[in-house]
Amino acid sequence: MSFRFSHVLHLFFILSFSFSILAHNEQDPTTKIMEDFSGYPIHEPQFSASTSFSVDTENLQLQIDELSRYSDTPAPSVTRILYSEKDVLARRFIKNIMASSGLSVREDAVGNIFGRWDGREPELTAVATGSHIDAIPYSGKYDGVVGVLGAIEAINVLRRSDFKPKRALEVIMFTSEEPTRFGISCLGSRLLAGNDALANALKGTVDGQSISFFDAARSAGYATDQDDLSSVFLKKGSYSAFIELHIEQGPLLEDEGIPIGVITAIAAPASIKVDFEGNGGHAGAVLMPYRNDAGLAAAELALAVEKHVLESGSIDTVGTIGILELHPGAINSIPSKSHLEIDTRDIDEKRRNSVIEKIHQSAITIAKNRNVTLSEFKIVNQDPPALSDASIVKAMEAASKELNLNHKLMISRAYHDSLFMARVSPMGMIFIPCYKGYSHKPEEFSTTGDIANGVKVLALTLAKLSLA
């Protein structure tokens, strides 16, 4: 008897803290009386996370495919740039899906979109989840998208399971995680985290076509009557938790055959803009000793970046020159101007900063030796890393276990909106495998099964945190 009693109590404990949350509809009145009398459940509730969570994978895949068609480049590539016509249409698509999942939808002045499912206790802060849908030129259809459409599907999963949230659940679609148009990564989440310097800088920010940030935002229907973006800022503690579901963008989960990555930290990113100016001139007539070639200065700096990164001695230090432009860009003209954009990251912030310092010194030396001017060396962002919250890591691990899904703890080398949400809320991230780790290219791919696993872990983690 005592064994049975402790067994039932144990069951009750598990169910009340994880899954009886998902109330079963009707209860047999006899059972009810017996339960009231004995003080513990007589029958095992019918609900169990692993059996009753059903992800509508077919519909989710259809939505992912449909969203990918809002693109400025042909399939299978996706290009969706902030506030472009395709971005505006894609935003409408997301808002419609949020609304048809019963979420109340609102947008802020820069177009962060929020879909809310109210909780039973309105005075409690909400639990949030979300990601982005903008896509860098010629990229794929899963980066960010899985964390937005997958989050809405996680809400649907919970609704189908009769779950009633205690804390509200909110899905966020962040504006411009990618830096493509205005050179600023995670623009929406940086602002949400409260950033006066960025809000001010945006007043003078233009894109490559000299369109101002505010004109672009207004053309998409945002920031219509204001240049003051402080309304976007969230107060610290606005959410009790934030969780982002994302494809890994690296090969580890697929290589190791593990369906779920539980993220413990996000590496520290930085980006730098550099301009060199020289005299230019005729490619045949100006002899080599008389040149001040801004293009070669850029080429030399690109190799210096690689050298400094490799000399850090750590595999975790990386550096990329993803943009290299020469002016006037004619085969028979010595470049009179060059422009580079450098991305460098590390899990160790100090080591990353020392690489930045070395890159700066190299730029100065190269300009001097080549008799060109270093007209700009601008550190656009130099962000610290972010740590996941221990209790959210625990909840994600527990959810994976309850769903019988293997998981591993890992770090994110890519940055995400979570890096900035961590400044205003306890944060966690869930990774799923993607084909060969491909990302930021059209070959990016995750199976519907892997996406469904991520959605289930997200749904169960949200359920747990909603009740916390």
* Total site size for ligand GLV, rule CB under 6 A: 3
Q: Report CA-CA distances (Å) from 12 to 19, 35, 388.
A: 10, 11, 30
Beta bridge partners of 337: 277, 327
Surface-to-core class of residue 325, CB atoms within 10 Å of its CB (0-12 exposed, 13-18 middle, 19+ buried): middle
Closest CB to ligand GLV among 444 and 450?
A: 444
Closest CB to ligand GLV among 300 and 383?
A: 383
Q: 181 Cβ partners below 8 Å, 6+ apart? A: 81, 82, 83, 207, 208, 216
Which of positions 392-411 make contact with Mn ion (CB under 5 A)?
none
CB of 177 to ligand GLV, least distance (A): 6
Binding Mn ion (rule: CB under 5 A), the pick from 111, 115, 130, 144 is: 144
> Please, what is the angle between helix 390-402 and helix 448-467, to 10°?
120
How far apart are the C-alpha atoms of 231 and 113, rounded to whole Å? Answer: 14
CA 174 to centroid of chain Cα atoms: 8
Q: Is 145 in the site for ligand GLV (CB under 6 A)?
A: no
Select from Mn ion, ligand GLV, none the partner in contact with residue 402, using the beta carbon and a kind-dependent cut-off of 5 to 8 Å. Answer: none
Binding ligand GLV (rule: CB under 6 A), the pick from 415, 420, 431, 438 is: 415
419 and 233 Cβ atoms separated by less than 8 Å: no
Closest CB to ligand GLV among 244 and 277?
A: 244
Q: Report CA-CA distances (Å) from 182 to 70, 84, 202, 405.
A: 20, 12, 9, 40
Binding mask 356-395 for ligand GLV (x = CB under 6 A): ----------------------------------------
CB of 342 to ligand GLV, least distance (A): 13
Binding mask 84-123 for Mn ion (x = CB under 5 A): ----------------------------------------
CB of 384 to Mn ion, least distance (A): 19
Binding ligand GLV (rule: CB under 6 A), the pick from 151, 414, 419, 462 is: 414
Closest CB to ligand GLV among 108 and 178?
A: 178
Closest CB to ligand GLV among 269 and 426?
A: 269
Select from Mn ion, ligand GLV, none the partner in contact with residue 415, using the beta carbon and a kind-dependent cut-off of 5 to 8 Å. Answer: ligand GLV
Binding Mn ion (rule: CB under 5 A), the pick from 87, 143, 300, 383 is: 143
Select from Mn ion, ligand GLV, none the partner in contact with residue 397, using the beta carbon and a kind-dependent cut-off of 5 to 8 Å. Answer: none
What does the radius of gyration of the chain's CA atoms come to, in whole angstroms?
Answer: 25
Residue with nearest beta carbon to ligand GLV: 414
Closest CB to Mn ion among 130 and 144?
A: 144
How far apart are the C-alpha atoms of 17 and 14, rounded to whole Å? Answer: 5
379 and 272 Cβ atoms separated by less than 8 Å: yes
Closest CB to ligand GLV among 178 and 244?
A: 178
Q: Report CA-CA distances (Å) from 449 to 101, 145, 269, 409.
A: 22, 16, 31, 20
Closest CB to ligand GLV among 158 and 432?
A: 432
Q: What are φ and ψ of residue 438, in 5° steps?
A: -65, 135
Q: 404 Cβ partners below 8 Å, 6+ apart? A: 50
What's the helix, strand, coil split of the chain in %, to 5? 40, 25, 35
Which of positions 162-191 make contact with ligand GLV (CB under 6 A)?
178
Closest CB to ligand GLV among 72 and 118?
A: 72
Alpha carbons within 13 angstroms on the beta-carbon side of residue 4 total 7
CB of 414 to ligand GLV, least distance (A): 3
In the chain the first and final C-alpha atoms are separated, in Å, by 32
Return the closest-CA partner of residue 246 out of 165, 138, 174: 174
CB of 142 to Mn ion, least distance (A): 9
DSSP state of 331: T
CB of 178 to ligand GLV, least distance (A): 6
Q: What are φ and ψ of residue 188, in 5° steps?
A: -65, -45
CB of 214 to ligand GLV, least distance (A): 24
CB of 163 to Mn ion, least distance (A): 27
How far apart are the C-alpha atoms of 168 and 69, rounded to whole Å? Answer: 32
CB of 280 to Mn ion, least distance (A): 36
CB of 247 to Mn ion, least distance (A): 8
Select from ligand GLV, Mn ion, none the partner in contact with residue 87, using the beta carbon and a kind-dependent cut-off of 5 to 8 Å. Answer: none
CB of 110 to ligand GLV, least distance (A): 18
| Strand intervals (E) in 54-205 | 78-80, 104-107, 113-117, 126-132, 135-139, 169-174
* Total site size for Mn ion, rule CB under 5 A: 2
Chain residues in the site for Mn ion (CB under 5 A)? 143-144
Chain residues in the site for ligand GLV (CB under 6 A)? 178, 414-415
